[in-house]
Structure 1
Amino acid sequence: MSAGEKDRILTSSPTKTPPFLRNITIIARLSTMATLAVMWAAAVYVVQDKERQTQYVGFYLIAASVVVTFFELTWVINKSACCRQEGCCCFCWQIVMWVDNWKKGIFYLLLSVPVFLEGMRIILGMVSGFLLIMCGLLYILKTFKDGIVYTVTETQYIPTTTPVIKVITHEISTQTEDKHYYQEISGH
């Protein structure tokens, strides 16, 4: 081992996070916004279609769209809210903010189930359900964004020396004659 190798020990693992995981938050938010657009459009279309007896799916899509819209806007509201950490409202808001990542993903997966109960008769409902499943899976995957960390750890040992401090003492001895001193003062 050379001197340079002795002074430096390098431990490494892969240095780059995959781009998909690095941008998973943006991908999940954008895909959920697109899903919301489809859900709102499907809800309005199904509710307005008087010929079918499946209007309850449209009303369910409206309710689900309201809930998903609320949960998607919580990060904007949280960034702009001025709230002390005391009080009932702040406690309730902390519970709302607790529903994120895998919890929000499971919630979205559960919201998609009733849309599939009608079968293939409502195509826009099915598309909304599949998109909601995709968003739920993205939020579950977002949970692992911070858990999968690729880092490089570097430890450097720098040789140092302890400084030597020398204490220098001088002994100064002076001899004064009091008699001579008093004589000079008296002489004036």
Structure 2
Amino acid sequence: MNASTTPLVRCQWCSSDPLYRQYHDEEWGVPHRDARHLFEMLILEGVQAGLAWITVLRKREHYREVYRNFDAQFMARQTDEDIERLARDPRIIRNRLKLRAARQNARAWLRLTEREDPVAWLWQFVDGRPRINHFSADAQVPAITDEARAMSRALKQAGFSFVGPTICYAFMQATGMVMDHTQDCFRYAELGGAPAATGSE
């Protein structure tokens, strides 16, 4: 088998689902500093609690539709009647606690942005730079770190919910605050884990 037909090696958690592969290949672990994207991912990671991430990915476009591309002001204005309507929408995850949390988090996000740059505020937990990890296997990747605990505490103090330390670490991985592609994954070198191979010397 020549190099052009050798299958790419991906992180072990990435299934063969095309949507999952696209997310792994193009988004996961890539540093993001766009406020709207960070807000979207914070909401979606909270939605994921107790579920498989692929479930959220499959509903992501519907969330973008019902939340008007994660417009925090629109979400913050939702009434209880709006929440009940969303709770009957089969295109999204119909969990009333999570739907109310999304509204609460939109309101907390708006309060945060009134006094802080939310991008810099979130990135402060990794000192403003991606943490490049060097794990050889998925089993070595932590579910929680001290930085995630600190982010969780700060978010809760700011009025957010569904932001426990496990959710916060998943958020940090997703937005490239930490790079946890394993060393055998083709994205590891591309995202700064190690120099790309340059051939024999």
Choose between structure 1 and 2: higher helix proportion: 1
What TM-score do you get using the length of structure 2 for normalisation?
0.25
Q: Which protein, 1 or 2, shows the higher relative CO under an 8 Å CA cutoff with sep ≥ 6?
A: 1
